[in-house]
Structure 1
């Protein structure tokens, strides 16, 4: 049973060593993400699943101890997807695939928050995956008698301004507004209704993880709270907590 969820963006700039001199510009976003993670910890989960987008279709699972990093961004930062205080031999034993950037950002968030509330695993969801595939994947995550918490990572549109990565698209602000309201209301129907074609056109990488979350949350009585909604650098970022 899904007992709590946090929704956060996953730009590598959240990692201060990557942002360098501009790190302070995202302090409010980092603080909101930390607040959302505290909601997950307070839910006393048996397991935490970190969802994040990756290029392509389908899904790839990452077990506890999975490693990733940000060497491609010019900083020698390595992260592991796991609880704080986990024994070092277990850290070294993992031999699965490396974390994609989205899940590496999630692992950094958990390390920064000293997450110790429950075991952690990851699920990278293809950005091109269809809505029904995402909803079914989310539904499959529910295990009877297990208290599941989800950290769903993903950015909104990249076309909010002329300086955004995708330039300006007039559809971007209304799209992000729909997403923000759905996250604030824990509205699984609204998230399920997000159009993958429009999401792709607007550069929205969060659509697939949000729809997996929607599939996992269907039939629950979770309520939502929107903790952050801004578009720095022309990209829509949202932080929400469901409990």
Structure 2
């Protein structure tokens, strides 16, 4: 939904979502990070960097998407969340260092990287928010996403860290592993938070927030 090359001209709901995402990415970059860490599910312990990349052929679009710089022969193939994150950074004009990791690697990367680090956390809310959703409608989906939205709005890292992983999986909330990792990494740190978007126009919860940890 975030890549125009896949969806074409957006309707009003997509336009609002993309504007919120663009603003969030700009907030990350305005802080002047030495490295932007793109964290998303599906990495399987692999870290992605220069030369890695994938494509959008699974969406009917014959387009290569590099993660960082040109794709090299034999480069690793990042999962879709990392490819989308990389494209968002490219669209924002970011040419600095970036690193793609899975949720289990986030804490270690943040501990080991020197200097200021930006994090672009990729993941959706529940895909069971309506009858037209990818999954069957579940009455628990909206309250689950609402609790996540409240935590994102208030900067409550503890709530994110304590999200129910099993319930998130049942509700097809792909962002739960990422949110849990971000929450765990920021436990005990003051956070300035802004919830930029909270909607489910296609039966999938789309949440966009900016956090600045001190």
Cα distance in 2 for partners of 1:53, 1:154 equals: 8
Cα distance in 2 for partners of 1:139, 1:123 equals: 10
Please give the per-residue CA displacement for 1:10-54, whole angstroms capped at 9, x wherever unaligned: xxx221121135565411111111100111111111111001112
2:22 paired residue among 25, 34, 37: 34
Secondary structure in 2 aligned to 1:53?
Answer: coil
Secondary structure in 2 aligned to 1:35?
Answer: helix
Please give the per-residue CA displacement for 1:191-213, whole angstroms capped at 9, x wherever unaligned: 01111110011001101111121
- For residue 218 of structure 1, report the CA deviation from its aligned partner: 2.3
Q: How many residues matched?
A: 211
- For residue 175 of structure 1, report the CA deviation from its aligned partner: 0.2
- For residue 144 of structure 1, report the CA deviation from its aligned partner: 6.7
Question: Is structure 2 residue 107 aligned with structure 1 residue 139?
Answer: yes
User: Scaled by the length of structure 2, what TM-score is found?
Assistant: 0.90
Q: 1:23 to 1:124 in 2, by over 3 A?
A: farther
Aligned to 1:17: 5
Structure 1 portions without partners, runs of 5+: 1-12, 126-133
Q: 1:21 to 1:92 in 2, by over 3 A?
A: closer
- For residue 70 of structure 1, report the CA deviation from its aligned partner: 0.4
Secondary structure in 1 aligned to 2:144?
Answer: helix
Q: Is the 8 A contact 1:102 1:154 kept in 2?
A: yes
1:62 paired residue among 35, 48, 52: 48
Aligned to 2:99: 121
Please give the per-residue CA displacement for 1:123-168, whole angstroms capped at 9, x wherever unaligned: 134xxxxxxxx4xx43322237421110000000011111111121
Secondary structure in 2 aligned to 1:54?
Answer: coil
Higher relative contact order (CA 8 A, sep 6+): 1
Please give the per-residue CA displacement for 1:180-199, whole angstroms capped at 9, x wherever unaligned: 01111221100011111100
Cα distance in 1 for partners of 2:204, 2:53 equals: 27
CA RMSD across the alignment: 1.9
Question: Is structure 2 residue 77 aligned with structure 1 residue 98?
Answer: yes
Structure 2 portions without partners, runs of 5+: none
Q: Is the 8 A contact 2:106 2:181 kept in 1?
A: yes
Cα distance in 1 for partners of 2:45, 2:150 equals: 27
- For residue 221 of structure 1, report the CA deviation from its aligned partner: 2.2
Aligned to 1:129: none
- For residue 219 of structure 1, report the CA deviation from its aligned partner: 3.2
Cα distance in 2 for partners of 1:198, 1:149 equals: 29
Q: Is the 8 A contact 2:129 2:138 kept in 1?
A: yes
Aligned to 1:199: 168
* Structure 1 range deviating more: 41-50 or 64-73: 64-73
